[in-house]
Structure formats: structure tokens, C-alpha cells
């Protein structure tokens, strides 16, 4: 790992006990919160761009030579002179850096799911790679499955339509040449629906967890606030149809500049990119019929995936 000379003069410089502690906290925080990397894994690449070769599933060929730039994401925060110079253990930065890492993790997932053109959390900037993945994974999906409302079902089995839709989605992925392990990623609102609905008086989420081996959902079930509120995402990962690339240092904390009033600015940044070689590996589920009106309205600036009303879920096999 290259020496970070920007750290010279702060808490003993790069490699000191204080900086090692900061790095450990930041990496533990961001690793625990990243959802896309839990599903797809990540490859380290020491370069300014990543391979973005085009896969033709019909001919089973790969057209080489295309590349995409890394997306560099950063979150800045500020310390006072006292917090920098009069605290040899770095108490303040050990509080602020993990908080910034939390924001960075959410921004990363928003970009992977909704694209570099999505609205990011306050304080996050895309320093390079803007427009390199507009629309994100959701843009690769032609038509979500609109889940039928369970209003005609007894309350004890209100989640049956959700189960049927997920089973139908998995069958569609299989028919498109995909194979398990499959993963299910749910928005915060959709996660709540799975907890509140039931199948034979058992919470729908519990039924899915108990049926994971049978369904092929062995890649896991995840919740993510990086998805639009009405959306769940089924993903196939067999054969690595999707690759996430990260820079050689993963996530880095460093001082940047002194600013007015004797304040010192720092930033946490990372270089990441995602390449969807086989877009048939994604399928979206639309939970609109299960959400209250206020939950159907995305946060300001956040795109919402809409499904045509005619595309209702079937019961599958």
C-alpha cells in the first residue's frame, strides 16, 4: 500500500497507531453497511478505469476493449485546530470518520442501484466518473413485476401474492439462463411489508428465510435504503454476471486543506465501479400495491421505478 503523505503532521503520520485505528474503524463501518458488495463481492484493481467488455448471451461472445472510469466518491468533514493539534489520540476524527463512512456506503449503493445521476446523501460528491453508470442496475431492467394486492386474502395469508411474485421472478431468471445463488434486496418499505404480512400466520420474511434453500435464495435477503421505496430486486450471481471493482486502497481518510477560521478539512473517499455483463441477471419487484400512499412517494430527487398495471404477478410453479 502506498504511503499517504497527506497525513504527515497529523497524529504521527501515515502508519501511526492513531491512523491505523482510524482506518480500521472506517473500513469496519463501510464494510458492514455496503449491500451491493455483500451480494456481488468486489475485485481490487489498481488502474484509472475498469474493463467494460460487452457480453452477447446469444452468441456467447465477449467484445473486448471497452472501459469505464472509476467513480470517485468523497465525503468531507471539518475539525478545529484544537481537535487536530491538542488531541494526540484523535478523539474527534474517530467519531466523525465512521459517520462519514456510513454516508459513503449509502451513496455507493444508491449509485449501483439507481445510478450516478441519482440524488445522493447530503455531503457526498462525485469527484470523477460522473455519468459513467446513469440509471444504475434498475435502468437495466425492462419491466418490474407488479405484485398483486393481497386484499382478497385473509390477514393470516396476506403475503401469499408476494411469495408467488418472488417465485415467479425466480422462474423468469431461470428461463433467462440464470442460476442460483439468488439474492433478494428490499427497500426499507418493502422490508416492512414482508415483516407485516403473513403466510399461514407466519411472517412472510420468515417463510422466505425458511424456504431459501428450496427457492434458491441462498445468496441472502437484504434490506437497503438505497432502493426506491416501492422496489425489491432479485439478483442472480452464478457465473459472476456482475462485477464490482474497487481501487487498491478501498476507502481512504486524509486531510485536504486548511480553511477559514483555523479549521482543517478532511475527506473520506473511495474509487468504485460496477459492470453488468449480463443484465438478464436482474429482476425488479414492485410493491406499490402493498404500500401506504406516503411510502409510495420517494424522497426528493429520488427516481421511482414504475411498472405497468398490466404486468401483474403470476403464481408461478
Q: What is the CATH number of the domain that holds 127?
A: 3.30.2400.30
pLDDT of residue 170: 97
Q: In terms of domains, do 119 and 154 share one?
A: no
Q: Give the mean model confidence (pLDDT) for residues 297-303.
A: 42
* pLDDT of res. 246: 97
Over 50: is that where the pLDDT of 303 sits? Answer: no
The DSSP bridge pattern shows strands 282-286 and 145-146 to be parallel
Provide the pLDDT for residue 1: 57
Residue 306's pLDDT is 37
Residue 313 has pLDDT above 70, yes or no: no
**Residue 296 banded pLDDT, cuts 50, 70, 90:** low
Across 88-113, average pLDDT: 96
> pLDDT band at residue 182, thresholds of 50, 70 and 90?
very high
Mark whether 183 and 47 lie in a shared domain.
Answer: no
195 and 262 assigned to the same domain: no
Each residue's pLDDT tens digit, 22-67: 999 999 999 999 999 999 999 999 999 999 999 999 999 999 999 9
301 falls within a domain: no
Residue 229 has pLDDT above 80, yes or no: yes
Give residues with Cβ within 8 angstroms of 288, minimum separation 6: 146, 147, 230, 296, 307
- Does the pLDDT value for residue 298 go beyond 90? no
Could you tell me if 176 and 159 lie in one domain?
A: yes
Q: How many domains does the chain have?
A: 2
> Lowest-pLDDT range, 111-115, 128-132, 171-175, 198-202?
128-132
Three-class SS of residue 59?
A: coil
- Give the residue numbers spanning the domain of 220: 140-238+279-296
Q: Please tell me whether residues 128 and 255 are part of one structural domain.
A: yes
Q: Are residues 87 and 181 in the same domain?
A: no
d(CA 303, CA 258): 37
User: For residues 1 and 7, which has the higher predicted lDDT (pLDDT)?
Assistant: 7
Question: What's the count of helices (H) and strands (E) in the chain, helices before strands?
Answer: 10, 16
Tell me, what's the pLDDT at 149? 85
Q: What pLDDT does 55 receive?
A: 94
DSSP string, 86-147: S-TT-HHHHHHHHHHHHHHHHHHHHHHHHBTTSPPPTTEEEEE-TTTTBTHHHHT-S-PEEP
The pLDDT value given to residue 316: 37
- What CATH number corresponds to the domain at position 202? 3.30.2320.10
Q: Is the pLDDT of residue 312 over 70?
A: no
Q: Is the pLDDT of residue 299 over 50?
A: no
For 234-269, the pLDDT digits (tens) are 999 999 999 999 999 899 999 999 887 889 999 999
Q: How far is CA 222 from CA 56, 90, 94, 184, 226, in A?
A: 30, 34, 28, 6, 11
Would you say residue 302 has pLDDT above 50? Answer: no
Q: What is the spatial distance between Cα 204 and Cα 198, in angstroms, rounded to a whole number? A: 5
φ, ψ of residue 139 in degrees (nearest 5):
-70, -20
On whether both 129 and 60 belong to a single domain, the answer is: yes
> 63-88 in b/e burial notation, b at 16+ Cβ within 10 A?
eeeeebbbbbbbbbbebeeebbeebe
Residue 218, pLDDT score = 96
Q: Is the pLDDT of residue 275 over 60?
A: yes
Same domain, 248 and 123: yes
Taking alpha carbons only, the member of 166, 111, 150 closest to residue 284 is: 166
Is a pLDDT exceeding 90 seen at residue 180? yes
Please report the pLDDT score of residue 307 as a whole number. Answer: 35
- Residues sharing a CB contact under 8 Å with residue 134, sequence separation 6 or more, in sequence order: 115, 116, 117
| Residue 192 domain-assigned (yes or no) | yes
What mean pLDDT is reported for the chain?
89
Are 132 and 144 in a shared domain?
no
For the chain, percent of residues with pLDDT exceeding 90:
78
Q: Quick one: cell of 253?
A: 481518510
Q: What is the mean pLDDT of residues 129-144?
A: 90
Same domain? 109 vs 167: no
pLDDT at 131: 87
Amino acid at each position: 500500500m502506498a504511503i499517504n503523505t497527506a497525513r504527515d503532521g497529523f497524529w504521527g503520520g501515515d502508519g501511526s497507531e492513531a491512523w491505523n485505528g482510524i482506518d480500521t474503524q472506517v473500513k469496519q463501518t463501510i464494510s458492514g453497511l455496503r449491500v451491493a458488495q455483500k451480494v456481488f463481492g468486489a475485485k481490487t484493481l489498481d488502474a484509472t478505469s475498469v474493463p467494460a467488455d460487452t457480453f452477447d448471451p446469444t452468441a456467447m461472445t465477449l467484445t473486448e476493449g471497452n472501459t469505464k472510469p472509476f467513480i470517485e466518491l468523497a465525503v468531507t468533514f471539518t475539525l478545529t485546530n484544537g481537535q487536530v493539534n491538542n488531541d494526540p489520540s484523535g478523539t474527534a476524527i474517530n467519531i466523525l470518520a465512521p459517520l462519514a463512512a456510513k454516508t459513503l456506503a449509502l451513496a455507493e449503493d444508491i449509485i449501483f442501484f439507481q445510478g450516478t445521476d441519482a440524488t445522493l446523501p447530503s455531503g457526498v460528491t462525485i469527484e470523477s466518473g460522473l455519468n459513467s453508470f446513469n440509471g444504475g442496475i434498475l435502468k437495466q431492467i425492462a419491466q418490474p413485476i407488479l405484485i398483486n394486492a393481497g386484499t382478497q386474502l385473509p390477514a393470516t395469508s396476506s403475503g401469499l401474492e408476494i411469495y408467488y411474485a418472488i417465485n415467479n421472478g425466480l422462474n423468469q431468471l431461470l428461463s433467462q439462463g440464470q442460476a442460483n445463488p439468488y439474492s433478494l434486496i428490499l427497500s426499507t418499505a418493502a422490508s416492512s411489508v414482508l415483516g407485516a404480512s403473513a403466510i399461514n400466520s407466519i411472517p412472510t420474511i420468515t417463510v422466505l428465510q425458511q424456504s431459501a434453500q428450496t427457492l434458491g435464495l441462498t445468496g441472502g435477503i437484504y434490506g437497503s435504503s438505497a432502493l426506491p421505496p416501492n422496489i425489491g430486486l432479485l439478483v442472480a450471481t452464478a457465473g459472476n454476471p456482475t462485477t464490482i471493482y474497487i481501487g487498491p486502497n478501498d476507502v481512504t481518510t486524509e486531510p485536504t486543506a486548511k480553511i477559514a477560521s483555523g479549521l482543517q478539512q478532511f475527506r473520506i473517499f473511495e474509487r468504485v465501479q460496477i459492470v453488468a455483463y449480463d443484465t438478464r441477471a436482474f429482476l425488479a419487484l414492485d410493491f406499490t400495491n402493498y404500500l401506504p400512499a406516503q411510502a409510495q412517494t420517494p424522497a426528493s430527487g429520488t427516481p421511482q421505478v414504475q411498472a405497468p398495471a398490466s404486468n401483474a404477478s403470476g403464481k408461478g410453479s
